[in-house]
Amino acid sequence: MMKLDGVAAFVTVAEAGSISEAARRLGMAKSVVLSV
């Protein structure tokens, strides 16, 4: 079962269109977004 943080990160990447933008929106490093 996925953690909700992972689902939220996935949705943010989809909405943002890029991992870099999603990381900026989430206030996380790109490496953290990729590992969630």
So where are the chain's domains? 4-35
Lookup: tokens for 8: 């939220």
pTM of the model: 0.80
The DSSP annotation for 4-29 comes to HHHHHHHHHHHHHSSHHHHHHHHT--
Q: Rounded to whole angstroms, how far apart are CA atoms 29 and 2? A: 20
pLDDT number for residue 1: 46
pLDDT in tens for each of the 36 residues of the chain? 457 888 989 999 999 999 999 999 999 999 998 888
**Total length of the chain:** 36
Residue 34: enclosing H or E segment and its boundaries?
helix 30-35
